[in-house]
């Protein structure tokens, strides 16, 4: 009898824990806790706020893919099988276009804000080690760092005159980290000789390959020693775009 009571109590406890977990995920603001459908729905909602043509592109792509597949179904039998293929192709095309428009809307949402380059850095792959805001001033001049196949990339934002001086100072420090590792400096912005936020990630990816993956690990370890000697970074009071994770993670499920 005692064993039966304990088993019943354990079952009730497990049931309560599962219910609490469902409630936590339901009320969570972290996309990693959401189901796939909710991730897609939230990504669509946020993107639509900044991209009013989103329905036209997403549903248009889905319908076009479905129609093209159904035209094949008129030629190749059985036709009913092509309906299923068309539905899958339409969904895939719609999601692909949504992912593309999410990126564009994210850039539009954060362009011009202090620290917005972090959004573009988040679009880089796992072969890149991203360190946002390695240096910042109270005037909202910021320097970020990326280490990858191209070596070390320093990205500055803020007033062009002040930010370039800050960038030059950081470049000298990083050039002494390891001989032969190239240090590339970039200015993110919409002015002359600056790289727009929407093109920043693509620009970094196009930089010539200079080091092997094993060297990336070594460089990152050396940079940690450099960062340890820095004074505490005075974080800007402006809106840093860390919440950009919402729309990106909504599509990635992280």
**Per residue, what are the HEC states of the chain?**
CHHHHHHHHHHHHHHHHHHHHHHHHHHCCCHHHCCHHHHHHHHHHHHHHHCCCHHHHHHHHHHHHHHHHHHHHHHCCCHHHHHHHHHHHHHHHHHHHHHHHHHHHHHHHHCCCCCCHHHHHCCCCCCCEEEEEEEECCCCCEEEEEEECCEEEEEEECCHHHHHHHHHHHHHHHHCCCCCCCEEEEEECCCCCCECHHHHHHHHHCCCCCCCHHHHHHHHHHHHHHHHCCCCCCCCCCCCHHHHHHHHHHHHCC
Do 127 and 97 share a domain, yes or no? no
* Residue 248 included in any domain: no
Based on C-alpha coordinates, what's the Rg of the chain? 24
Q: What is the pLDDT tens value at each position of the chain, 254 positions in all?
A: 456 777 677 677 777 777 766 766 666 655 566 677 878 888 888 888 888 888 999 999 999 999 999 888 888 877 788 889 999 999 999 999 998 888 888 777 777 777 788 888 888 888 999 999 888 888 888 999 999 999 999 999 988 888 888 899 899 888 888 788 899 999 998 888 888 888 899 999 999 998 888 888 888 888 888 877 776 665 544 444 444 444 444 444 44
* Residue 49 included in any domain: yes
Q: Which of 28, 39, 27, 23 has the alpha carbon at shortest distance from 253? A: 39
Give whole-number Cα distances, 103 to 4, 199, 200, in Å.
Answer: 55, 11, 12
* Residue 22 included in any domain: yes
* Residue 96 included in any domain: yes
CA distance 244 to 116: 9
* Residue 206 included in any domain: yes
Do 192 and 141 share a domain, yes or no? yes
Do 92 and 168 share a domain, yes or no? no
CA distance 198 to 100: 12
* Residue 250 included in any domain: no
**Whether the Cβ atoms of residue 89 and residue 114 lie closer than 8 Å to each other:** no
CA distance 210 to 186: 17
Do 219 and 137 share a domain, yes or no? yes
* Residue 126 included in any domain: yes
How many of the other CB atoms lie within 10 Å of CB of 74? 9
pLDDT at 87: 92
The residue written with tokens 């860390």 in the block is 242
- In the chain, the number of structural domains is 2
pLDDT at 244: 44
Do 104 and 133 share a domain, yes or no? no
**Whether the Cβ atoms of residue 150 and residue 210 lie closer than 8 Å to each other:** yes
Parent domain of 56:
2-110
Do 83 and 161 share a domain, yes or no? no
Do 106 and 188 share a domain, yes or no? no
* Residue 240 included in any domain: no
Beta bridge partner(s), residue 195: 188
Question: Cβ neighbours of residue 144 under 8 Å, at least 6 residues apart?
Answer: 115, 117, 118, 121, 130, 131, 132, 133, 134, 154, 155, 156, 157
């Amino acid at each position: 009898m005692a064993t039966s009571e304990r088993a019943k109590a354990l079952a009730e406890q497990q049931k309560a824990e599962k219910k609490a977990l469902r409630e936590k995920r339901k009320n969570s603001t972290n996309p990693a806790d959401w189901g796939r459908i909710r991730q897609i729905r939230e990504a669509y909602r946020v993107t639509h706020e900044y991209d009013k043509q989103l329905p036209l592109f997403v549903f248009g792509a889905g319908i076009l893919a479905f129609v093209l597949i159904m035209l094949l179904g008129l030629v190749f039998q059985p036709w009913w099988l092509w309906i299923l293929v068309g539905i899958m192709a339409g969904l895939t095309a719609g999601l692909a276009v949504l992912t593309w428009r999410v990126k564009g809307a994210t850039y539009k949402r954060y362009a011009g804000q202090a620290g917005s380059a972090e959004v573009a850095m988040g679009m880089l792959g796992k072969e890149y080690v991203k360190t946002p805001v390695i240096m910042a001033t109270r005037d909202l001049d910021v320097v970020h760092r990326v280490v990858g196949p191209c070596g070390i990339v320093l990205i500055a934002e803020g007033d062009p005159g002040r930010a370039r001086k800050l960038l030059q100072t950081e470049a000298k420090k990083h050039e002494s980290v390891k001989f032969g590792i190239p240090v590339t400096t970039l200015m993110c912005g919409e002015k002359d000789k600056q790289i727009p936020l929407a093109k920043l990630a693509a620009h970094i990816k196009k930089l010539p390959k200079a080091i092997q993956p094993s060297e990336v690990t070594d460089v990152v370890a050396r940079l940690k020693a450099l960062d340890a000697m820095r004074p505490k970074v005075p974080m800007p009071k402006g809106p840093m775009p860390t919440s950009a994770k919402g729309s990106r993670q909504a599509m990635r499920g992280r």
